[in-house]
Structure formats: C-alpha cells, structure tokens
C-alpha cells in the first residue's frame, strides 16, 4: 500500500475503519515524510537494529522503521488501532505488534527475549501527557538501549537539554542529562499532524551514556534531593530539602553541606549543576 505519510492515505485509512481519535491517549498522527526521514536519520536505524516503537498509531512511522531495521516491536495501548495496524503493516514480516500499556510492560524481559539482551533503539511519537514517565521508566529500569529518538512537546524537549540558571531547568533536565546526551533534531509545527495539536513539537535524540557523566554513591538519594529542590522552586535549597518529608536531613545539615562545597546557604536548586547535586548527595549520604 501507499505510505501513510501521504495525508490523503491517512485520512482514507481512518475513514475506512471508522476510527475516532481518543483524547485520553493524546493521539496525533504524523503526516510529514520529511520529518519522518529526519527521525530515521537521527535514530541511525540499520539492518542490525531491533527497534522498540512506542505508540505506533496507524503505523505511519512503523512503515519507515520496518524498511530500515531488522525488527520492529510496536507497542500500542489502544486496542481499536490493532486491526488497522495489522492491515497497514501486513506486508512487513519484521514487525511485532503488542497491544499493551508501555508503562506496564516488562521491557527488559522483552529485549532479552527478542534481542538477546543487546541494546535496542527506541523511537516514538509520544503523547505529551505521558512523555516524562515513559522516558524516565526506560532509563531507571536500566533497559539496554543505544538511543531514544522521540517526538515530544517542544517545551519538554527544551527542558531536557537546558543547563542551570534557566527557567526551563529542572528535575527532568538533570535526570535526562545524567543518563543521556540530549540533542534537538528538528522543530515540528502543528500542521505536520492529524489532528493538529495545540502546541509545537520537537524531535529530540537522547544518546545513552555507557557510564554516567558524574560519579555518585547513591543514585536514588541524588534524585530524591533533586526532586525536593525543584518541588518548591522559589524556596532555597536548604528549605526545599528541609521541608521534604521523604528526606531525613535537617536544614542545618544541608546548610553545612553547602558551605563545605563553597556554595551560599541561600542558593536555589536551579543554580546547581549535576556535578554539584552528586557532591551534595555524597556529603549528605555520609551522614545517614
């Protein structure tokens, strides 16, 4: 069949199956061949690769992936899309369709079974409301992966790659930059989708680090400190950590740790680099 990146083919396919867009799944189908090619190039898909695609929709990007990859595992939560996918991807024998919620799927077990535990590549046009849990889930579960190339809300892409002292800098920036090197591939306007979203989008590639760029004794503690620091963004770091019920440190202990690092006790979390959060975590961790 003709490619679904042709808007006319997408419209005909949707009409033929009487498909209704589900707001709860944040469905916006990509209809721009140029953007799809950019995603393929950024993800560096080759015939050696096993690709996990999250949210294939009607299979627009899956068609491109199937032509380049050795195998594509397409995970789609909406059961109404499964018959459409079986039709649009019927001519590809290297695509496996799974009707499941990606957040409930044991991706590590899937990779072990389908790719002998070797690193996969992840490609997705992610629903905006669930972008962060999906990306963080992939990293925190230590799924063996090479890179993640995703379409996300532009604002979220910006947040993933900024540094300290900017308004977009936060827990997501630090978490992403601990696990991967972020690079914005392209900005994508609303008219590249059916239906048009209300926001601009961007394609971002996150290249997984073999080793994190900073050494920290307790990764989980560092991220608890980071979250506490940004939960009350306008408060000082000392107050943010002191007010966090899940952290056992007093304001005095945090102030002493900051002084030991040569930092002001009135500093806010948004001013600290990843290295400084790692150092703070090691100092406070040694107290417990």
pLDDT for res 142: 84
Q: Are residues 101 and 40 in the same domain?
A: yes
213 belongs to a structural domain: no
* DSSP structural state of residue 210: S
Residue 230 is part of which domain span? 219-285
Specify the number of domains making up the chain. Answer: 2
Residue pLDDT tens, the chain, 288 long: 689 999 999 999 999 999 988 777 778 899 999 999 999 999 999 999 999 999 999 999 999 999 999 999 999 999 999 999 999 999 999 999 999 999 999 999 999 999 998 999 999 998 777 888 999 899 988 889 999 999 999 999 999 999 998 889 999 999 999 999 999 999 999 999 999 998 999 999 999 999 999 999 999 999 999 999 998 778 899 999 999 999 999 999 999 999 999 999 999 999 999 999 999 999 999 997
Q: Are residues 159 and 35 in the same domain?
A: yes
CATH number of the domain to which 248 belongs: 1.10.8.100
Phi-psi domain of 18 (left: phi exceeds 0; alpha: psi -120 through 50; beta: other)? left
85: which residues sit within 8 A by CB, 6+ positions away?
Answer: 56, 58, 59, 62, 74, 76, 97
Domain boundary residue, one of 145, 175, 208: 208
CATH number of the domain to which 95 belongs: 3.40.50.150
Predicted model pTM: 0.91
112 belongs to a structural domain: yes
Domain boundary residue, one of 182, 208, 234: 208
pLDDT for res 129: 79
C-alpha closest to that of 76 among 32, 136, 126, 42 = 126
pLDDT for res 20: 87
CA distances from 138 to 144, 145, 163, 167, 258 (A): 9, 8, 22, 26, 32
254 belongs to a structural domain: yes
2 belongs to a structural domain: no
């Amino acid at each position: 069949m003709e490619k679904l990146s042709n808007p006319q083919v997408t419209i005909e396919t949707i009409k033929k199956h009487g498909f209704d867009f589900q707001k709860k799944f944040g469905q916006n189908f990509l209809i721009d061949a140029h953007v799809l090619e950019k995603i393929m190039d950024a993800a560096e898909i080759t015939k050696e690769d096993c690709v996990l695609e999250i949210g294939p929709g009607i299979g627009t990007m899956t068609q491109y992936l199937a032509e380049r990859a050795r195998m594509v595992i397409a995970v789609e939560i909406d059961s109404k899309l499964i018959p459409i996918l079986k039709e649009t991807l019927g001519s590809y024998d290297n695509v496996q369709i799974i009707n499941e919620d990606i957040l409930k799927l044991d991706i590590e077990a899937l990779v072990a079974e389908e790719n002998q535990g070797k690193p996969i590549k992840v490609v997705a046009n992610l629903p905006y409301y669930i972008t962060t849990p999906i990306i963080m889930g992939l990293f925190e579960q230590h799924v063996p992966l090479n890179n993640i190339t995703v379409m996300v809300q532009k604002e979220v892409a910006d947040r993933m790659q900024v540094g300290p002292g900017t308004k977009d800098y936060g827990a997501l920036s630090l978490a992403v930059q601990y696990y991967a090197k972020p690079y914005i591939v392209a900005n994508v306007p609303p008219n590249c989708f059916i239906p048009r979203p209300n926001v601009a989008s961007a394609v971002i590639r996150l290249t997984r680090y073999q080793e994190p760029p900073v050494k920290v004794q307790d990764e989980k503690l560092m991220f608890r400190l980071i979250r506490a620091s940004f939960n009350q963004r306008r408060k000082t770091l000392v107050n943010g950590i002191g007010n966090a019920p899940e952290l056992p440190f007093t304001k005095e202990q945090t102030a002493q740790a900051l002084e030991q690092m040569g930092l002001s006790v009135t500093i806010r979390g948004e001013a600290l680099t990843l290295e400084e959060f790692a150092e703070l975590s090691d100092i406070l961790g040694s107290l417990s």
